[in-house]
Structures are given as C-alpha cells and as structure tokens.
Structure 1
Amino acid sequence: MLEERLEQLFGSPLNLRQKGTPLYLLVKKAINAPILDGRLIGGDNLPPERDLAQYLNVSRVTIRRAIDELVKDEVLTQRQGAGTFVSERVEQPLNHLRSFTEIMQDRGKSISSKWLDRSLGMPRAEERAALNLQDDDLVVRFYRLRFTDGKPMALELASIPSQYILNPFAVEGSLYALLDKQGKRPVRAFQRLRAISIDSERANLLSIPESSAVLYIERTGVCAENSPVEFTRSWFPGDSYDFVAELQNTL
C-alpha cells in the first residue's frame, strides 16, 4: 500500500541527478510537485523520510534538507512526534469584515480559545489614538489564543471602549456577536498589515519557532454611528493563512 501511495504521489522512481543542480533542490521540487497539483492537500501527512529516501534513491540527509527547505517556505509543517504535514492555509478575504469565529465556522472548523487576559483599565496611548478616547476613559481588553481543530491559529488582542462593553467576562465566543446584540457591530474597518518576526513569548503560545515570520494586523472597527468600537491586534502564523482581496480598475 505504501508503494502504491508513493507511486501515486511521485510517479515512477525518478532519475533526480542533473548536472549542475544540487540534489536536495531536485528532491525539494519532486516533493513539492504533488502539493502544487493537489494530490497532497493541507493537513495531509508526508510519507516517512526513510521511505521517501528509498523510493527517490537518495540519502535521508538529502530528504531531510529538502524537507527543511519546504518548512522554511511554509509549504510543510512539522509536528513533534507526529511527522511532517502539508501546511493548512485559511483563505481570508480582506474586503469582507468578518470575525475569526465566523470565518472558521464557515469552513467547518472546531473553534476554541485560551484566555490570556480579560481586564478593565486605563487606555494606553495607541488605544486612545485608535478609539478617540480621553485620558480618563476606560477600555476592556480581551487577549486570547485562538484554536481551530486544536491547532493554534491566531493571537488576538482586542480593546473595546467600556461604554460598549463594561464587563471583561461578557465575551465567551464571538466578540462581534456581542457587539451586534448591542447594535454596535463594526460596519467598516481600517486594517494595517505587515510581516514581522515574532518574539519568544508569542512564538511559544503559537507553537512556532522564535523569530518566525508572522502576519501582524491592526484593525480599527467603526460602527454605524461612525464611532470607533474596536481596536484589535492579531498575530497569524505565516504558514496558516492566505489573505486575498479583489481589486478593481477605477480609471
């Protein structure tokens, strides 16, 4: 059965020796091919290194280097004690204002959270600027690690003016659902995205190596009355998301 799977993924045993090209790059290309054409999809496990080496007629050192390169490219992900898997990616549109819960539920994912902080306090400078607050106003902060199907998928720190949510423990699931009940759900938002290297504390929470590239997003959400009601900072593992947007020619 293993032999059949290897043949299904890679075809007949390949001659991977090509003059002038490092062998590990040829192996990398061979492993990536069934991912590119859909024979391996997000969440699928890669055959064991030993079997890949035997089938492709290369050393395990070469297989390991090729896999390491694909892990760096965020095509593959490794889970300690479980093996090597094709990275699962969530396609998230940038032109629709939706919550993490709504996006994952649409994809049939099981959602859970680990609360890191729920508190009421004085606004920091960035919160005052984003939410148009005075120095003596209060904000409620919700900081949590978000999971889908048991996998860490995002760190999310949301700040809400206390006039909209006073109790830090009022949110259990979707923050947007609670704001919607009060008629204060954001109807538009300004988002700023950039790639950053993650610090050791957040890397540990997301179960990724320190200094890994992650996508950092700041979002300020505005309700129908044109008042800012949400200032959220999120950290997304780079191997988990594709952010897409539809662009139109306005000329």
Structure 2
Amino acid sequence: FTEIVKSQGKKPSSELISYQRLHPNEFEIKNLGVLPQSHVIRMERVRFADDIPVAYEIASIPEKIIRGFKESEITEHFFKTLTDNGYEIGKSQQTISASLANSSLAKHLKVKTGDALLSLTQISFLQDGQAFEYVRSYYVGDRFEFYLENN
C-alpha cells in the first residue's frame, strides 16, 4: 500500500483502530497454518492517501513470528521490521472481488452503507513457504487504483 500510494505522488498514512492478541479464527487457522490453541496478532487500521481514507485493513500475523517485536514495529513498518530481523519475504497470493460497505466500513471509509468496494484478500509467505500474514482489505474504488504487472 505504502509503495503504491507513494508511486502515485501521494502521502500514505494509517490510523490504528485495534491491535489484539487472540486465538485464531477458522480463516486464520486455514490461511496461516496455525493451530487453534496458538495466538495471532490481529490489527485493524484505516489506510489513507493524502489524508483521504482509501482502505480498511484487517491483518493477522502468527504471534510466534513477531514475538519480541514492539507494537510500533508491527503497525508502522511491518515488512521492514521482518527483513531487518533476518526474515526473507517470498511470494504472496491475492484475490480481488467486489463487495458492499457495511455500516462499520462506511463509517471508517467515509462512504455510504451499500457503496461498492473492492475487497482484497492476501496471504504473504516467507521464502521458506511459511505464511506470515493474512490480510483482508476493503478499498474505495474511486479513490484507489490497482496496477498489476506479470513478468
């Protein structure tokens, strides 16, 4: 998100809505390959471009990967924190679909309930194939543009 927004000549920023240590839900168990009795850190935040809300993001990270990191290292520059600590980031898998804003998303994104959103689900992996992040994001379509390139 940060790199895409910067490439568009805009200033990226985030507002942290919640940061919790929880047992994983069924989607986190499936997509992160964690055990039901383990813990994940689940954070929710609004992402901005030039102070305009563009996306609402729910990110889940296995606690075992980030144990010992400060909350700010996770919420402000997660990928940099990982690479600075010797983790090698590998591939990611993304699914994009259409959805509608519920009342909570509408409030955070400053749109109307029922407005169209782009939903993106992403699973990010380390080089060794271990999933380290499961993210569900909701983008305001007329405020954000995806550019995909395949090499």
TM-score, normalising length: structure 2: 0.89
Per the alignment, residue 153 of structure 1 pairs with 54
Summarize the Cα distance change of 1:184–1:157 in structure 2 as closer, same or farther, 3 Å threshold.
Answer: farther
Per the alignment, residue 125 of structure 1 pairs with 26
Q: With CA pairs under 8 Å and 6+ residues apart, which has the higher RCO, 1 or 2?
A: 2
Q: Distance in 2 between matches of 1:168 and 1:196?
A: 34
Structure 2, unmatched stretches of 5+, are none
- Count of residues paired in the alignment: 149
What amino acid sits opposite 1:126 in the alignment? Answer: F
**2:61 corresponds to 1:138:** no
**2:105 corresponds to 1:202:** yes
Question: 1:193 Cα deviation (Å)?
Answer: 1.0
Structure 1 stretches of 4+ with a deviation exceeding 4 A read: none
Per the alignment, residue 78 of structure 2 pairs with 175
Q: Distance in 2 between matches of 1:107 and 1:189?
A: 22
Matched-pair contact (CA < 8 Å) for 2:16–2:75: no
Summarize the Cα distance change of 1:131–1:172 in structure 2 as closer, same or farther, 3 Å threshold.
Answer: closer
Question: 1:168 Cα deviation (Å)?
Answer: 6.8
Question: 1:247 Cα deviation (Å)?
Answer: 5.9
Q: Distance in 2 between matches of 1:117 and 1:103?
A: 24
Q: Distance in 2 between matches of 1:215 and 1:121?
A: 27
Per the alignment, residue 64 of structure 2 pairs with 163
Matched-pair contact (CA < 8 Å) for 1:101–1:174: no
Residue pairs, 1:12-31, within 5 angstroms: none
Judge which range, 107-116 or 143-152, deviates more: 107-116
Per the alignment, residue 93 of structure 1 pairs with none
Equivalent of residue 184 in structure 1, options 66, 69, 87:
87
Per the alignment, residue 8 of structure 1 pairs with none
Secondary structure in 1 matching 2:64: coil
Q: Which structure has the larger Rg? A: 1
What amino acid sits opposite 2:23 in the alignment? Answer: M
Q: Distance in 1 between matches of 2:120 and 2:88?
A: 19
Question: 1:195 Cα deviation (Å)?
Answer: 0.3
Per the alignment, residue 121 of structure 2 pairs with 218
Secondary structure in 2 matching 1:242: coil
Matched-pair contact (CA < 8 Å) for 1:144–1:157: yes
Matched-pair contact (CA < 8 Å) for 1:120–1:168: no
Secondary structure in 2 matching 1:109: coil
What amino acid sits opposite 2:58 in the alignment? Answer: L
Question: 1:225 Cα deviation (Å)?
Answer: 1.0
What amino acid sits opposite 1:220 in the alignment? Answer: I
What amino acid sits opposite 1:149 in the alignment? Answer: D
1:125-183: CA deviation from partner (whole Å, max 9, x where unpaired): 10000000111111011210011111001111111111111357232422211222223
Structure 1, unmatched stretches of 5+, are 1-99
Matched-pair contact (CA < 8 Å) for 1:164–1:229: yes
What amino acid sits opposite 1:227 in the alignment? Answer: Q
- Sequence identity, in percent? 28
Summarize the Cα distance change of 1:151–1:118 in structure 2 as closer, same or farther, 3 Å threshold.
Answer: same
What amino acid sits opposite 1:209 in the alignment? Answer: K
Summarize the Cα distance change of 1:146–1:247 in structure 2 as closer, same or farther, 3 Å threshold.
Answer: closer
More helix by share: 1
Q: Distance in 1 between matches of 2:144 and 2:48?
A: 14
**2:4 corresponds to 1:109:** no
Secondary structure in 2 matching 1:177: helix
